[in-house]
Structure 1
Amino acid sequence: MQDKSMLMIPGPTPVPESVLLSLSKHPIGHRSGDFSEIMAAVMAGLKWLHQTTNDVLILTASGTGAMEAGIINFLSAGDRVLVGCNGKFGDRWGEVCDAYSLKTERITAPWGQPLNPDDFKAALEADTAKTIKAVIITHSETSTGVINDLEAISRHVKAHGQALIIVDAVTSLGAVNVPVDEWGLDVVGSGSQKGYMIPPGLAFVSVSAKAWEAYKTATLPKFYLDLGKYRKDAAKNTTPFTPPVNLFFALKTALEMMQAEGLENIFARHHRLMQATRAAMKALNLPLYAPDHCASPAITAVAPQGVEAEKIRSLMKKRFDIALAGGQDHLKGQIFRLGHLGFVSDRDILAAVSALEVVLGELGYTNFSPGAGVAAASRVLTTA
């Protein structure tokens, strides 16, 4: 049926109607007083969401742009950095560091498993000469549905005393608790098309006072992603380059929706949706790729046996116009990923699970009792 598409992927995520209506307004001049008022409002909202008094800067970019900016503004060629790699995006940040001639040391864990904070502790404690300049971590690893223990890793970085902690919070900001000031996070990057509930196009970078000190001596090349320019203009409620004005309209509306719901309610909703999704997959005898203890509230990865992941995705789209994400790199064709972040509700989970049951039956998968997935999800949603 036309116009019934349902996004259940880790991004872009569904956009609320009020946000879509905000997008449809006539653009205004980005050097006008009206735009400055909007800019001031969204910056205040971003600080609320990040739980910080630090600068939160807005770029016209993707989440990858936010992370590249977070790396190149505070480091110099030859600097030693630790990069946590347990999925595609951790690997990507290592590649970015390599591209800028940083001395990149990867701390790894198998895909589908969390990074071990003790591995970071050991490397940082061994660095008695304080040569490690930064530790780069993906909080919610979108490729596998694993969430890493950012709080513990950050604690070890703080004990080191010199290194910055640079965080990919692209699928965790707005879905789980990321208290920037409480955890002492120096640089935090995120993107608009995830928990923020607006279309792709904006990226956000939170920057601590410690990181700004590092900025003074950093020598990696930068121009469009020079965060110093954004900080200077943000102080005047403007931007250094032409922004996507209508996305700012959307961001203001989305942040107002989030503030009305409240941080604790947002986090509780995402946790509930994760639990319901995982309970449904277990009831359908579909193996989960990430263990329960490190499951991300943003995305659930499923490794089906006895039925092909890509056939599930294809039929879900064809029969119900529900989009699921596939596996990446060596996991392509091995898993499917069901996103439950941003503008997603209990009803969406029930609809996706019931559609999945129909698809499994049509594909000849018999290792489940019809209705078991919906019943399992319903129990979680009833008791939550």
Structure 2
Amino acid sequence: MYKYRLMAPGPTPIPAEVANIMANPIRHHRTPGFEEVVKEVKVGLKWLYQTQNEVILFSSSGSGAMEASLVNVSSPGDRVLVINGGKFGERFGKIAKAHQLEADIIDVTWGHGVSPSVIQEKLEQNEYRAVCVQASETSSAVEHPIKEIADIVKKYDQTVLIVDAITALGVINLPVDEWQIDFMIGGSQKALMLPPGLATISVSEKAWGLIDKATCPRFYFDLLAEKKAIQKNTTAWTPAVSLVVGLKEVLKIMQDEGLPQMLERHAKMASSIRNAAQAIGLKLLSPEAPSTAVTAIYSPEGIDSGKIVAGLRNHFNMTIANGQDDYKGKIFRIGHLGYYDMLDMATVWSAVEKQLSELGYQFELGKGVAEIIKNL
């Protein structure tokens, strides 16, 4: 028997102390006690985001927060610039079109980061209400150069930068105020170590000024209503109460570890998996701009990556992720964001090597694991 191990890029494991707190009898959301929870969560989120901006809580998936960011700052017919380097960049484009926005798409080959000069050229040619980009594109395991993009966008008074940091928040350094990021989005089921269902958005003063003038319809995702509520330590609508209570505990865990230490832990886990893969002759999908949250690895020639994913599930009770779209069957993805440590990396890679050996891939068994052991 093997105990269940979740090693995908989301959802991710939940610490026992967080799960236990969420299992307590539920609080009513319109009480002083819950308002005190929200107050503490606000402080913790500002610490994590490295911002003095308001951080809004939405009871939704991260996709809901992506939609909220776009519709609150835009009016029908506005032009937005979308960096599409994977499934979630593609999603920004779909959201824009659903709200009658003109979406100009910069298509980036999966496994590569966007070139900031291309964004600069686009902004010189057209007026855009928003530039939309992933800090960490989960489907292709790429990090886009957010600081360089922010340095460009901040020069344009009528253009905001919307950063999907759902798999980057708490994983890589994204100082919102220092870099002048207008919207930054987080999701509970990633490095925030919670079940799915809660999204967070930081909103800059520049963005609030444009929100006041925007006319895209919104109701549940009305950021002005949520701003008014969060300033009173509450939410406009019934929140995911247990998740907010859990988030309070998560932020305490993060602060106890320390932000630099947490970021270093993630960087170390990511590099260990990349080194292990390359040690046994496997190629990375994104060697030049690799994500710190998830690693995408090409399956050996002649082996469908789905067999690796299924093998870990059936033989070791372990979940990793297959590729998506054109990369399904070609790559497998290992998550290393949130409640993981280096021993988890050694465990998942041991299972990967064993399954590859069973599938007929010729390599020195244990060579990749040894790379991880060096860094324990």
- Category of TM-score, reference length = shorter chain: over 0.9
| 1:310 paired residue number | 306
SS state at 2:295 partner:
strand
Alpha-carbon shift at residue 162 of structure 1 (Å): 2.5
User: Alpha-carbon deviations, 1:136-160, whole Å to 9, x = none?
Assistant: 1111000010000010011111123
Q: Corresponding residue for 2:178?
A: 182
In 1, the alpha carbon distance for the partners of 2:59 and 2:74 equals 22
- Which residue among 281, 295, 300 is the counterpart of 1:300? 295
Tell me which residue corresponds to 1:121.
120
SS in structure 1 at match of 2:320: strand
CA distance, structure 2, for counterparts of residue 81 and residue 271 of structure 1: 32
Match of 1:225 in 2: 221
Q: Report how far residue 161 of structure 1 moved.
A: 3.3
Once the 2 structures are TM-superposed, how far is the Cα of residue 322 of structure 1 from its aligned partner? 1.1
Q: Is residue 2:374 matched to residue 1:375?
A: no
Alpha-carbon separation, structure 2, partners of 1:133 and 1:32: 39
Look up the equivalent residue of 2:168 and give its one-letter code. S
The aligned residue for residue 195 of structure 1 is 191
Distance 1:66 1:339 in 2: 22
Aligned-partner Cα distance in 2 for 1:145–1:339: 10
Partner of 1:350: 346
Task: Find the counterpart in structure 1 of residue 200 from structure 2.
Answer: 204
Q: Match of 2:329, SS?
A: coil
Does residue 247 (structure 1) correspond to residue 247 (structure 2)? The answer is no
1:356 shift after superposition:
1.1
Among 332, 341, 359, the alignment partner of 2:328 is 332
Query: 1:249 offset after TM fit, Å?
Result: 1.5
CA deviations over 1:6-32 (Å, ceiling 9, x no partner): 111110011111111111100011101
User: Is 2:80–2:129's contact at 8 Å kept on the other side of the alignment?
Assistant: yes
> Residues 58 and 204 of structure 1 are in contact (CA less than 8 Å); yes or no, is this contact kept in structure 2?
yes
1:49 maps to 2:48? yes
Q: 2:266 aligns with which of 231, 255, 270?
A: 270
Q: How far off its partner does 1:328 sit?
A: 1.1
Segments of 5+ residues of structure 1 without an aligned counterpart are none
Using the alignment, how far apart are the partners of 1:122 and 1:7 within structure 2?
42
Per-residue CA deviations over 1:317-352 (Å, capped at 9, x if unaligned) read 111111001111111111110000000100100000
Task: Indicate the residue corresponding to 2:111 in structure 1.
Answer: 112
Aligned residues: percent identity? Answer: 43
CA distance in 1, matches of 2:190, 2:306: 23
SS in 1 for 2:263: helix
**CA distance in structure 2 between the partners assigned to 1:86 and 1:331 by the alignment:** 13
Matched, 1:90 2:85: no
TM-superposed CA distance for 1:202, in Å, is: 0.3
TM-score (norm 2): 0.98
- Secondary structure of the equivalent of 2:155? helix
Letter in 1 for 2:197: G
Please report how far the alpha carbon of residue 274 of structure 1 lies from its aligned counterpart in structure 2 after TM superposition: 0.5
| Contact 2:300/2:361 (8 A) holds in 1 | no
Distance of 2:300 and 2:16 partners within structure 1: 38
Q: 2:129 and 2:206 mapped to 1: Cα distance?
A: 12
* Gap runs ≥5 in structure 2: none
Letter in 2 for 1:79: D
Q: Which secondary structure does the structure 1 equivalent of 2:154 belong to?
A: helix
Match of 2:60 in 1: 61
Contact 1:13 1:197 survives alignment (8 Å):
yes
1:15 maps to which residue? 14
- TM-score normalised by length of structure 1: 0.96
| Cα distance in structure 2, aligned partners of 1:10 and 1:374 | 20
Can you list the C-alpha shifts for 1:188-246, whole angstroms capped at 9, x where unaligned? Answer: 11100001011111000110111111111111010011111111111111111111211
- The match for 2:100 is 101
Where 2:133 maps in the other structure, the secondary structure is: strand
The code of the aligned residue for 2:200 comes to: F
The question of whether the paired residues in 1 share the 8 Å contact of 2:119 and 2:149 is answered with: yes
Asked if structure 2 preserves the Cα contact closer than 8 Å seen for 1:281 and 1:373, the reply is: yes
Please tell me the residue identity of whatever aligns with 1:363: L
1:92 and 1:204 mapped to 2: Cα distance?
A: 18
- In structure 1, the residue corresponding to 2:100 is in which secondary structure? coil
CA–CA distance in structure 2, aligned partners of residues 216 and 275 of structure 1: 44
Instruction: Quote the offset at 1:283 in angstroms.
Output: 1.1
Deviating more after overlay: 171-180 vs 154-163: 154-163
- Partner secondary structure for residue 82 of structure 1: strand
Match of 2:80 in 1: 81
d(CA) in 1 for partners of 2:297 and 2:149?
27
Is the 2:342–2:372 Cα contact (8 Å) retained in structure 1?
no
- Give how far 1:37 is off: 0.5
Amino acid at match of 2:6: L
1:285 Cα deviation from its structure 2 partner: 1.4
Counterpart code for 2:319: A
The DSSP-based 3-state class of the residue aligned with 2:73 is: coil
Report the secondary structure of 1:132's partner residue: coil
1:349-382 deviation digits (Å, cap 9, x = unpaired): 000011111111111111x101101011222x14
State the one-letter code of the partner of 1:300.
T
Range with greater deviation from structure 2 (155-164 or 260-269): 155-164
